[in-house]
Structure 1
Amino acid sequence: MSRGAAGGGGYLMRAVYAGLSGGVTLALFLHRTDLQKQEEHGEFLQPLIFILLVLCSVLLYFAVSLMDPGFVESDEEEKSGMNEEQRVMIPQLPSNVRLRRCGYCMLKQPMRAKHCQQCQHCVRRFDHHCPWIENCVGERNHPFFVIYLAVQLVVLLWAFHIAWSGLYFEQSWEWLKHNIFLLLSFLVIVISTIVVMLLLVSHLYLVSCNTTTWEFMSRHRISYLRHSESENPFDQGVIFNIWRFFCACRLITWEKIYFPEDSDPV
């Protein structure tokens, strides 16, 4: 479990998410929607796929919420208990680059790392602290966070279609009493779809530029961006940025990209 996911607030948010996911799914099956009609006709393929997608989104949510987002460790903590192969995977700095120390936890802070006040620790390639998952989004879990958003959006769009198929509007108290659960679920689906879609689009844009939410919002306050000659010193082209984001199997030494080999670090 990650350090940022251990608080009581984290358990509460995960319980709320699991409850909403289960409640909305149950409402879609209990009302006269396409899912219920397919079950009545013995067609179980689409209901089964829908349930599997919901389970997949829930598992991805818990994975992103509970995993280490890329907490910065001291040299002793990082190397203790590691074999030789694992030590090779630790990013190696150029010999002429010195890391700054965090003013809060006093650890050596790699470039693009930031101290999170909620998690009380520095996080590599810090993007943001997400209150919905009660964890930071950083270098280790950011790809899974984007994948989670994509799967969640597919689930929500499908749920929107299913919920709409079960809504037939009548101006009567009896109709409202029997469909209030479905109407509330439909409202949750609409709001969640808008939020998730905006998040996914914004994160895909940031990934394509190889920047983070923190860097995008606070460029004027970040020293390594404020003193850089280029607008984004980490941008290596859309295709390579996306490939590196999703396919890199090790932590990246951003100092090697920021400082050209023939230049002296400031």
Structure 2
Amino acid sequence: MPDEWARAFFDEGFEETFRLRGAYSSTQDDLDALCSTAMPQGHEGRVLDVACGFGRHSGPLTERGYRVVGIDASPEQIARARQLYPQTRFVVADMRQPPPGPYDVVLNLWTSFGLLPTRADDLAALTAWRKVLASGGILIMDLTTRERAEHLNRTGREQISTKRVTHQGVTTEARYDWAEGVSYVRYSRNGWSRTSRTRLYSRLDLELALHEAGFAAVSLWGDFQLGPVDPAKRTVVIAGTEASALPSAPHQAGPGVSTLGRPE
């Protein structure tokens, strides 16, 4: 696939395709949980939403009182976001070059990581997000890790796994190259068909990359309510500029799943 695949993928037809698949049904519940566990309290935090799409997180967070800037490389998605949520600031920008901060929180949700051409580009994005965070700030990521992809799609030791499913008029054809560590997924419906490419990171790979990017501490969770990591679910990653910035799980004194300290 060409490196510029995302330019064609995130066009005017993207939102409708994923709406048909039911991809946005949990948005409000996710935000309720996120705001009660990891987001700054008092609803006055400065938030950068990276790969904001049509603003489905940025807009509601602004309505809750947060000061949000949403960025996306797709002019079509930003135009739609501005239409839906005119009170939020949206900017067409590469995730490796975010608007200057400082921000209290950088959000990277819904597996919006691993889309850039190389791992070096992904690391450049993480490093850029770290630089625009305020002291004590956090990065919150929500993504499918390699562990989840294998749990749901790999039956043995095969190097290539494939899957084809049709739901609500959208056909999903996935190809997982485990040696390359990349998934290729084609979504097709009447009048629209596009293919995505996502680099699959294991939880350990993510932790190492985040430390390399300059984050002091990393914690891993199974959902926005800070439940335990579950291979059947996406992983919520919270990385702090300081170890004390990491949230604690409900009824727990310290971070729930923190596997690596920052290497010296």
Q: Tell me if both proteins adopt one fold, taking TM over 0.5 as the criterion.
A: no
- Bigger relative contact order, structure 1 or 2 (CA pairs below 8 A, ≥6 apart): 1
- Structure showing greater Rg: 1
**1 or 2, which has the higher strand percentage?**
2
Q: Which TM-score band applies after superposition, normalised by the shorter structure?
A: under 0.3
**1 or 2, which has the higher helix percentage?**
1
* TM-score, normalised via structure 1 length: 0.26
* TM-score, normalised via structure 2 length: 0.26
